[in-house]
Amino acid sequence: MLRLLCLVACFLFVNTAIAGTKFIRVTGEGNTVEQAKENAFRSAVQQRVGAIVLSERQAINEKLTKDNISLFSAGYVDDFKIIDIDQTGSTIRITLDVLVADSKLLNQVLNTGQTNQGVNGERAGAALSTYLEQKQNGDKILDVVLSTYPQNAFILEQRPYILTVDSYRNATFNVPYSLKWNYDYIVAMNEAMSLVEDRVGLVGFFNLAPSNVIIMAKDPKDFILGSKNTYKFNDIPILKQIKQSMLGDREVRLLLTIFDATGKWLFQTCYVPDSINGRKNSFYNMGEPRVLTIFGNEKETGILKATVDANHNYVVQQAARIEVAVVPFANCKW
pLDDT tens digit sequence for 58-67: 444 444 434 4
pLDDT band at 48 (very low <50, low <70, confident <90, very high): low
Closest CA to 290 of 227, 243, 245: 243
Burial label for 309, CB within 10 Å (0-12, 13-18, 19+), is exposed
The stretch 26-35 carries a mean pLDDT of 90
Residue 83's alpha-carbon distances to 39, 93, 98, 126, in angstroms, are 15, 11, 10, 16
Percent of the chain with pLDDT over 70: 71
> Could you tell me the maximum CA-CA distance found in the chain, to the nearest angstrom?
88
Mean pLDDT of the chain: 78
Closest CA to 177 of 320, 305, 333: 305
Q: What is the pLDDT of residue 4?
A: 36
Say if residue 68's pLDDT is above 80: no
44-56: b (≥16 Cβ within 10 Å) or e? bbbbbbbbbebeb
pLDDT band at 10 (very low <50, low <70, confident <90, very high): very low
* pLDDT, tens only, 242-282: 999 999 999 999 999 999 999 999 999 999 999 998 889 99
Our CA angle for 42, 76, 118, nearest 5°, is 120
More confidently predicted of 18 and 200: 200
Q: What is the pLDDT of residue 281?
A: 92
* Phi-psi category of residue 62: left, alpha or beta, with phi > 0 → left and psi -120 to 50 → alpha: left
pLDDT band at 120 (very low <50, low <70, confident <90, very high): low
More confidently predicted of 298 and 118: 298
pLDDT band at 102 (very low <50, low <70, confident <90, very high): low
Say if residue 321's pLDDT is above 90: yes
Amino acid identity of 163?
A: L
More confidently predicted of 223 and 90: 90
The stretch 129-143 carries a mean pLDDT of 67
